[in-house]
């Protein structure tokens, strides 16, 4: 099986190599139906192409140039090996993968929590490891892959193995048809502060990883998404990890809402937990919340003990975990006390409309 680094290279080049790229791209139109620097629909649109056919060759350079609000970055197919930090003042920013297939346009880097900073000031930490950090309100991304291809096998001496592909803190952040690739802490759905209840929406997205690979304190709706748990060759047996690790602020009525989604696995049956609560040392008042409803849970989920506890003193049973009408072999209720279920009346309060309020992404 190829490493993620090899797989990303294959994904980025396969369409052109096999002659299956979208016609517009194949005929020298790297931005497809989204125009070009010569056919710009408006001044708010900027173009990114690693081969020099756009306004900028890197995503960060385009972000730096996209001052003000309501700007759009159209990104041509290719692999952009860089870290990207989107400041909070880029409100209403839209990022678009030009081909419409998220496998074609990849933003990737390879930092981990334990990676030393070049200036000798210590290591990056979990947040600092992110390939892309998105801070603004009203950000939208479509048809893109966000990846962190740092591998434990390359650094067996590291203890800080968290390696974030994307960290999002802005309210009203929406991701459509995007892919998030990593191992530990792949997608960090967070907020800017404990009192900032950031609403986020993920639709038709794919997320893969092993340990806590969807985590954070955002009020996040994950709708019709595919979560893929990966085999860990460095462990002799279960558990290999956890899909979700919410750290919802105690005052926030809404944590993670997962619906109409599916969880599959490359690991043996029962090797993964569905979730565990994260109560960070910076917020011991956190009250993690997760609802998984009307989703298909594959055999990779441990049905007897689908939830785990991360920190002593904060057992999962005291958090806000619940399920509703899930299906699949991983959803079997073998120990009722370990699978809290919503009633029909309770389920009416666990919907995207309730989570997102006056925002319709």
Annotated active-site positions, please? Answer: 185, 212
Percentages helix, strand, coil for the chain (3-state, rounded to 5) are 15, 30, 55
List the beta bridge partners of residue 301: 272
Give alpha helix (H) positions in 67-185: 125-128
DSSP H stretches of helix in the chain: 4-18, 23-26, 59-65, 125-128, 344-347, 352-356
Residue 231, class by beta-carbon neighbours within 10 Å (0-12 exposed, 13-18 middle, 19+ buried)? middle
DSSP annotation of 100: S
Taking the C-alpha atoms of residue 274 and residue 296, their distance in angstroms, rounded to an integer, is 12
Phi, psi of 9 (to 5 degrees): -65, -40
Strand order of the β-sheet with 226-229 is 78-81, 105-109, 145-148, 179-181, 206-209, 226-229, 262-265, 296-297
Closest alpha carbon to 178 in 95, 61, 111, 114:
95
Compute the distance between CA of residue 288 and CA of residue 352 in angstroms, rounded to an integer: 18
* 158: exposed, middle or buried (Cβ count in 10 Å: 0-12, 13-18, 19+): middle
Within a 10 A sphere around the Cβ of 243, how many other Cβ atoms?
A: 29
**How many CB atoms neighbour CB 10 within 10 A?**
12
């Amino acid at each position: 099986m190829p490493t993620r680094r090899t797989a990303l290279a294959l994904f980025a080049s396969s369409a052109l190599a096999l002659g299956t790229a979208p016609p517009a791209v194949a005929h020298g139109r790297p931005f497809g139906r989204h125009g070009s620097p010569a056919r710009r629909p408006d001044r708010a649109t900027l173009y990114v192409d690693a081969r020099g056919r756009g306004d900028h060759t890197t995503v960060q350079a385009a972000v730096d140039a996209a001052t003000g609000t309501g700007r759009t970055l159209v990104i041509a197919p290719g692999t952009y090996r860089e870290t990207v930090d989107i400041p909070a003042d880029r409100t209403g920013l839209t990022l678009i993968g030009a081909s419409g297939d998220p496998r074609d346009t990849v933003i990737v880097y390879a930092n981990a929590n334990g990676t030393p900073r070049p200036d000798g000031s210590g290591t990056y930490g979990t947040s600092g490891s992110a390939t892309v950090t998105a801070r603004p309100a009203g950000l939208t991304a479509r048809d893109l892959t966000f990846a962190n291809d740092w591998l434990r096998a390359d650094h067996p001496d590291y203890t800080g193995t968290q390696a974030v592909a994307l960290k999002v803190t802005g309210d009203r952040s929406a991701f459509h048809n995007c892919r998030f690739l990593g191992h530990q802490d792949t997608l960090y759905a967070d907020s800017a502060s404990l009192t900032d209840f950031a609403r986020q929406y993920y639709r038709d997205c794919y997320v893969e990883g092993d340990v806590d690979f969807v985590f954070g304190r955002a009020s996040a709706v994950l709708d019709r998404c595919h979560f893929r748990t990966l085999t860990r060759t460095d462990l002799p047996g279960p558990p290999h990890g956890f899909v979700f690790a919410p750290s919802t602020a105690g005052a926030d009525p809404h944590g993670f809402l997962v619906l109409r989604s599916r969880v599959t696995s490359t690991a043996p049956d029962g090797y993964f937990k569905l979730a565990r609560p994260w109560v960070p040392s910076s917020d011991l008042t956190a009250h993690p919340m997760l609802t998984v409803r009307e989703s298909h849970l594959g055999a990779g989920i441990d049905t007897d003990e689908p939830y785990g506890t991360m920190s002593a003193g904060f057992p999962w049973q005291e958090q806000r975990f619940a399920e509703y009408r899930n299906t699949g072999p991983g959803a079997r209720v073998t120990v009722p006390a370990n699978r809290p279920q919503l009633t029909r009346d309770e389920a009416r309060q666990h919907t995207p409309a309730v989570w997102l309020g006056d925002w319709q992404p």
